[in-house]
């Protein structure tokens, strides 16, 4: 016999590589709603290795599958919230009854819990482990929409009073297998010329749950003029792409930018570092940095650089400056002698990104740096 002083109901059983036995089901504490439970027994059934009660409120674990690392994977349903754990794909309780997928670690601790449901009634009944770090889940649903994504489904709407819902749930896999690469063509960008940055994300492992965010702040003198990619947007110099998941298909983002340097006389080819960032749902970040070369202006001939509004728009050590000029003219004549008048006057052209050594920062502090 297996149970305690309350009503118990077993509905799923599995064994691990050591023949230890895992049993899941439902228990009804006196005067309370039902709760799910999981029990691990020794192979001969004489020792209870752990017992885990969890998910109060019309809760029940219906099926269990144990992996090679002795993690117990459970499916069932629950009628209350605040049990989510471990960056779940379904982060909140949808209402009525939700299906759930949970894992319990070898020590008997609840390791992961995700709601699987919408605003109507949803119940989970069966689970199967696969060798590709994924589990397959079978549920019944009365909901028309869910608090998680359904990528690649042939039917994404409710057809009858209730429908069968089959889900594949994969862990994040090895993040080291994911690669983020950034390239630029051409490698030397002349003034007024367009460069195409390409960000490529490859994930040879299991699907990665989102939301994940790819960002790229294109530094001046390069000015973004167009971006293409999944759910990408442009705000000033910043490119942002947000994805609900990362599948095994490559993610490719292309950014067209122009070298906005305008020169009285062209100068040397200069390097500019550019970095793309990939942020996982847990906040960890992967980066890809490249060095792009652009045609600079000859400082001895005068510089007309990229326009800006603040110094944060400028690349590297450049500062956003509204330049001024020093004017001298004859205010009056005393006989043959010119009485000169000197003044500084701000140039009415837009402020531009300027190297610090080109800025007139004498006693008069003529040039205005826009912080």
Query: What is the C-alpha separation between 69 and 62, in angstroms, rounded?
Result: 21
H helix runs in 261-359, sequence order: none
Q: Which residues contact 182 (CB under 8 A, 6 or more apart)?
A: 197, 198, 199, 200, 216, 274, 275, 276, 288, 289, 290
Query: Which of 79, 129, 73, 120 minimizes the C-alpha distance to 101?
Result: 73
pTM: predicted TM-score of the whole model, two decimal places: 0.52
Q: Which long-range contacts (CB under 8 A, 24 or more apart) does 298-302 make?
A: 298/263, 298/264, 298/265, 298/266, 298/267, 299/267, 299/355, 299/357, 299/358, 300/265, 301/263, 301/264, 301/265, 301/267, 302/264, 302/265
Q: Which residues contact 176 (CB under 8 A, 6 or more apart)?
A: none
Percent of the chain with pLDDT over 70: 77
Q: Where are the beta strands (DSSP E) in 3-97?
A: 7-15, 21-28, 35-41, 48-56, 60-66, 72-78
Sequence spans of domains, the chain? 7-170, 175-297, 307-369
> How many CB atoms are closer than 10 A to CB 166?
11
Query: Which of 67, 132, 135, 53 minimizes the C-alpha distance to 101?
Result: 135
pLDDT (tens, 9 = 90+) of the chain, 371 residues, equals 565 656 678 889 999 999 999 999 988 876 667 888 999 999 998 899 999 988 777 888 999 999 988 999 999 999 888 888 877 777 778 778 888 999 999 999 988 898 888 778 888 999 999 876 789 999 888 877 776 666 666 666 665 666 778 888 876 555 567 889 999 999 899 988 999 999 999 987 666 766 789 999 998 788 899 999 999 999 888 999 998 777 778 899 999 999 877 777 888 898 988 899 999 877 889 999 999 999 887 766 555 567 788 887 776 667 888 777 655 556 555 555 565 545 555 555 778 777 776 676 554 556 777 87
Query: Which of 324, 352, 328, 348 minimizes the C-alpha distance to 339?
Result: 328
- Which fold does the domain 175-297 belong to in CATH? Immunoglobulin-like (2.60.40)
């Amino acid at each position: 016999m297996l149970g305690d002083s309350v009503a118990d109901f077993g509905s799923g059983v599995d064994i691990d590589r050591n023949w230890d036995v895992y049993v899941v089901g439902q228990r009804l504490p006196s005067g309370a709603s039902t709760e799910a439970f999981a029990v691990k027994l020794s192979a001969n059934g004489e020792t209870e290795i752990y017992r885990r009660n969890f998910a109060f409120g019309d809760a029940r674990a219906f099926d269990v599958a144990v992996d090679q690392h002795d993690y117990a994977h459970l499916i069932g349903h629950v009628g209350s919230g605040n049990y989510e754990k471990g960056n779940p794909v379904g982060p909140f309780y949808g209402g009525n009854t939700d299906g759930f997928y949970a894992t319990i670690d070898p020590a008997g601790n609840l390791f992961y819990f995700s709601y699987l449901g919408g605003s109507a009634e949803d119940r989970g009944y069966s689970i199967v482990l696969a060798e590709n770090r994924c589990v397959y889940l079978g549920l019944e649903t009365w909901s028309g929409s869910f608090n998680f994504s359904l990528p690649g489904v042939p039917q994404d709407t409710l057809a009858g009073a209730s429908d069968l819902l089959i889900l594949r749930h994969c862990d994040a896999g090895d993040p080291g297998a994911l690669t983020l690469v950034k390239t630029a063509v051409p490698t030397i960008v002349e003034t007024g010329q367009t460069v195409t940055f390409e960000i490529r994300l490859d994930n040879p492992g299991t699907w990665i749950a989102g939301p994940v965010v790819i960002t790229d702040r294109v530094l001046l003198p390069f000015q973004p003029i167009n971006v293409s990619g999944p759910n990408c947007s442009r705000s000033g110099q910043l490119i942002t792409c947000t994805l609900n998941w990362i599948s095994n298909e490559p993610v490719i983002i292309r950014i067209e930018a122009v070298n906005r340097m305008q020169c009285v006389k062209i100068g040397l080819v200069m390097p500019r570092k550019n970095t793309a960032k990939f942020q996982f749902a847990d906040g960890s970040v992967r980066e890809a940095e490249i060095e792009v070369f652009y045609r600079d202006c000859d400082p001895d001939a005068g510089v007309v650089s990229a326009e800006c509004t603040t110094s944060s728009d400028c690349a590297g050590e450049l500062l956003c400056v509204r330049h001024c000029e020093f004017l001298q003219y004859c205010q009056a004549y005393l006989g043959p002698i010119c009485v000169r008048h000197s003044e500084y006057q701000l140039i009415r052209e837009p402020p531009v990104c300027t190297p610090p050594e080109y800025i007139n920062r004498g006693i008069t502090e003529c040039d205005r740096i826009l912080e």
